[in-house]
Structure 1
Amino acid sequence: MDWKNIYRGLLMGVTDLIPGVSGGTVAFVLGIYARLLEAISGLFSREWKKHIGFLVPLGIGIVAALLIFSRLIDYLLESHLAPTQFFFMGLIIGVIPFILRQAGAKQNFKANHMIGLIVVAILLASLAFIKPDKAAAPITSLNIQTFFLLFFSGWLASMAMLLPGISGSFILLLIGVYTTAIKALKDFNIPLILTIGAGVIIGFIVSSKAIRYLLSNFQHMTYAVIVGLIFGSFFVMFPGVPVGLDLWISIITFLVGLVFSLWFSSEKFTKTSQ
């Protein structure tokens, strides 16, 4: 068992709670993104024991983060939205230099890659104009309709979680079940958690194979799309210009997030974390 993955899972789990921040970005920065895709895709192969040893500690960390920090994240987003969003915007901006280094952008990105990057960034940024209804009444019990809604919501969210730049939580917001998911975690509603979780697991298996195929056969374009997703997610996160004291607090939280992310994605850190 790779028990170091517990802290990696904690970091991924916290970010997956945030609409606009992707756990896939954290996996990328930690240097385990390719290994994560390989492990999920290989669960049903002959080497499943090796992959289980990688995924179980990671899963423990992710689940622990979801259960421990769901209340805190919900409180911060409800009561201190701008400073919280600016902190995560700082995290996103700080990750971009690392991703560009990993992609070898200077050497590998041609005109078509840049066009793909810009188009994807614009398409994702356009989601900032969509205002999901976070106040929608949460689902508290299951019937056939709510089962399929939550199952496929988990499926779609998990596909987003694996892509750096796209937040699974934001997908849940768009679908209208983010409040349901957070409340289920806070109240430990087992039927709802298992339903969403089943969709997440199936989505992970399917999407990991697709992403691995794209990285193997269209590596540079896939990297360009990932960078575009991260650029676009910055605009999705932007809550507007705060006023008064919130403006200064938001500037501070943005700088804290930026510095932390630059350190987090530095070559020294990533080497020691692998």
Structure 2
Amino acid sequence: MEWKNLYRGLLMGISDLIPGVSGGTIAVVLGIYDRLLDAINGFFSKDWKRHLGFLIPLGIGVGAALLALSRVISYLLEYHKGPTQFFFLGLIVGVIPLLWKEADAKNHFKVPHFMMIFIGTVLVASMAFFTPDKTGTPITELTIQNGIGLFFAGWLASMAMLLPGVSGSFVLLLIGVYPTAINALSTFNIPLIAVIGAGVIVGFIVSSRGIRFLMVRYGYMTYAAIIGLVLGSLAVIFPGFAMSTVHLVASVITFVAGITIVTLLGKQSK
């Protein structure tokens, strides 16, 4: 068992609770993105046993973060949104040089790759103009009708979670399921967690195969798309500067802390 994946899973789980931050981005920072895709694909092959040592500790870490820290994240976003968002902005800014080096963009990117970066940036940044309802009444009782919708919501969100720069939480916000998901985690509503979680698992299986195929067949273009998605997520998560001097100073500190943490984790992953 790769027990160091516990802390990696915790970091990925925390990021997946934040609208605008992707667990895939954190996986890139930690240097495990390729292995994550391979392990998810390999788990459903004849060699599934050899991937358990990687996936089980990672899954425990993600699950622990989702269950234990959902209230903490909700509190921070409600009462300290600026500094919290700037911390994750720092994480995202810090990951861009890592992606650039990983893709060896200096030697391999041509005009089509930069066009793909632009397209990815615009697509994700455009989400910043959506104003989803964050205060909607959460679903608390499972029925056949809402269960089907929640299953496919989890499926859609998980496909976004695996893509660096695309936030599964923000997708849930856009389709109005985020309040339900956070409330289910906070209150430990097993039926709702199970249905959404089943959708997440199916989405992981489908999307991991698709992303793996693209990275093998069109590696540099896929990296260009991912860099664009990450750049675009900056616009989605940016909270603005309408805050007090104290919050502004705190935001600068958390922003620098985010970049520093990514830099340190990037060096460690090597």
Same fold (TM over 0.5): yes
- Partners of 2:53 and 2:250 lie apart in 1 by 42
- Partners of 1:170 and 1:186 lie apart in 2 by 18
Report 1:42-53 matches (<5 A): 42-53=42-53
- After superposing on structure 2, the runs of 4+ consecutive aligned residues of structure 1 that deviate more than 6 Å are none
Match of 1:186 in 2: 186
For the 8 Å contact 2:31–2:266, the answer to whether it is kept is no
| 102-111 vs 38-47, which moves further | 38-47
- Structure 1: 5+ residue stretches without partners: none
- Partners of 1:257 and 1:30 lie apart in 2 by 14
Deviation, 1:2, is 1.8
Give RMSD over aligned pairs. Answer: 1.0
1:171 aligns with 2:183: no
Match of 2:130 in 1: 130
For the 8 Å contact 2:12–2:27, the answer to whether it is kept is yes
Tell me the TM-score normalised to structure 1 length: 0.96
Q: Which amino acid aligns with 2:257?
A: V
- Partners of 1:45 and 1:100 lie apart in 2 by 32
- Partners of 2:66 and 2:99 lie apart in 1 by 26
Deviation, 1:248, is 2.1
Match of 2:107 in 1: 107
Match of 1:261 in 2: 262
- Partners of 1:9 and 1:249 lie apart in 2 by 27
- Partners of 2:35 and 2:259 lie apart in 1 by 26
Match of 2:269 in 1: 270
- Partners of 1:170 and 1:258 lie apart in 2 by 22
- Partners of 2:145 and 2:79 lie apart in 1 by 32
For the 8 Å contact 2:92–2:234, the answer to whether it is kept is yes
Q: How many residues align?
A: 269
- Partners of 2:166 and 2:253 lie apart in 1 by 25
Match of 1:65 in 2: 65
- Partners of 1:92 and 1:45 lie apart in 2 by 33
Q: Which amino acid aligns with 2:243?
A: V
- Structure 2: 5+ residue stretches without partners: none
Deviation, 1:53, is 2.1
Match of 2:79 in 1: 79
Q: Which amino acid aligns with 2:27?
A: A
Report 1:201-216 matches (<5 A): 201-216=201-216
- Partners of 1:47 and 1:258 lie apart in 2 by 38
- Partners of 1:90 and 1:2 lie apart in 2 by 28
Q: Deviations over 1:37-93 (max 9, x none)?
A: 111112221101111221111100100111111110000111111111111101100
* Identity level (%): 61
Q: Deviations over 1:91-122 (max 9, x none)?
A: 10011111100010101110000001011101
Match of 1:250 in 2: 251
Tell me the TM-score normalised to structure 2 length: 0.97
Match of 2:34 in 1: 34
Deviation, 1:32, is 1.3
- Partners of 2:81 and 2:221 lie apart in 1 by 34
